A = this chain, B = another copy of it.
Amino acid sequence: MADPLGEVGRLAEATIAVVGLGLMGGSLAAALRGGAGSARQCRQVIGIVRQTDTLPLARKYVDQATTDLGAVAAADIVVLATPARTILRLLPQVAALMRPGALLTDLGSSKAAIVDVMSTLPDPILAVGGHPMCGKEAGGLAAADARLYDGAPFVLCPVPGQPAAAVEQATALAQAVGARPQVLAAALHDQAVAAISHLPYAMAVATVLAATAQAETGGDLRWQLAAGGFRDTTRVAGGEIAMWTDILLTNQAAVLMQLAHARAALDALTAALAQADEVGLAALLRAAQSRRRAMFQPTTGGTDR
């Protein structure tokens, strides 16, 4: 793969347009543009934002900032970095503006619906789904960080019917920002993130709602007692509503399946506890304990803190 960008030569020669400059898009742009000790990865980065108010801040992260979606016509690679439902709406519109042979990819958190639409785009556009598995508490362009992608898994979901060049070019892009590209079918990606990200969010939400259901008894005192366990378990419930609504609704089927699994597990725990079935209860707890511990062994790439 000495020359992954067949149409434009090497990535270093490419013009890259990022549509949507929030935390993810802004960080990608900053990593590609380089500066502050890191090398520039491409010829030019164009940032496309919705509102003119954002342009001054955007210019800190890109070479050229504009509100004109038509600017994608100048790009060899276009990255859609908006919420997933906006990506779904923008895909046909952006593809129609792009030049033949250019690559269209995205950073959306669910992939099957996006890859479905990508498979209907006109032939001369290369397309591949993307989902970098990173982020941080604070969102928005002001929190953008050129090192956000360092070492993060960056899932690439091939689009049926597309040439291998699409995945190859996206691989080069992911590597250029320091991420670890990982090719995975969109349906498997969506099941995986439902299990490891979307369900944990739903469970954190349910835990907070349950804990506050009896707020009248015990009053504020219980929050004063809340220790690290509650804080960690519910941390993600403090996340941004618009983003999570978007994620859950675009990964509906896989999340519903995970919710059903979780309710079955809670039913089993409830039954064992209600019957004071110590052996059955301990067996459920032990299954979770051993799986959790196995997951975060060094060999699986995760580390516990």
Contact = CB atoms under 8 A, between A and B. Distances in A.
Interface of A: 133-135, 152-153, 155, 182, 184, 188, 191-193, 195-197, 199-214, 217-218, 220-227, 229-239, 241-242, 244-245, 248-249, 252, 255-267, 269-270, 273-274, 276, 278, 281-282, 284-289, 291-293, 295-296, 300-302, 304-305
B261 A224 contact: no
Given A223-B300, A249-B273, A273-B256, A233 B204 contact: yes
Contacts of A193: 225
A249 B234 contact: no
A218 B237 contact: no
Contact of A153 (B184, B224, B302): B224
Task: Give the interface SS of chain A, mostly helix, strand, loop or mixed.
Answer: helix
Contacts of A244: 285
B261 A218 contact: no
Contact of A301 (B209, B224, B300): B224
A192 B281 contact: no
B302 A238 contact: no
Contacts of A282: 241-242, 245
B200 A233 contact: yes
B241 A285 contact: yes
Contact of A222 (B196, B211, B217, B236): B196
Contact of A206 (B223, B245, B266): B266
Contacts of A241: 282, 285-286, 289
Given A153-B224, A217-B191, A269 B196 contact: no
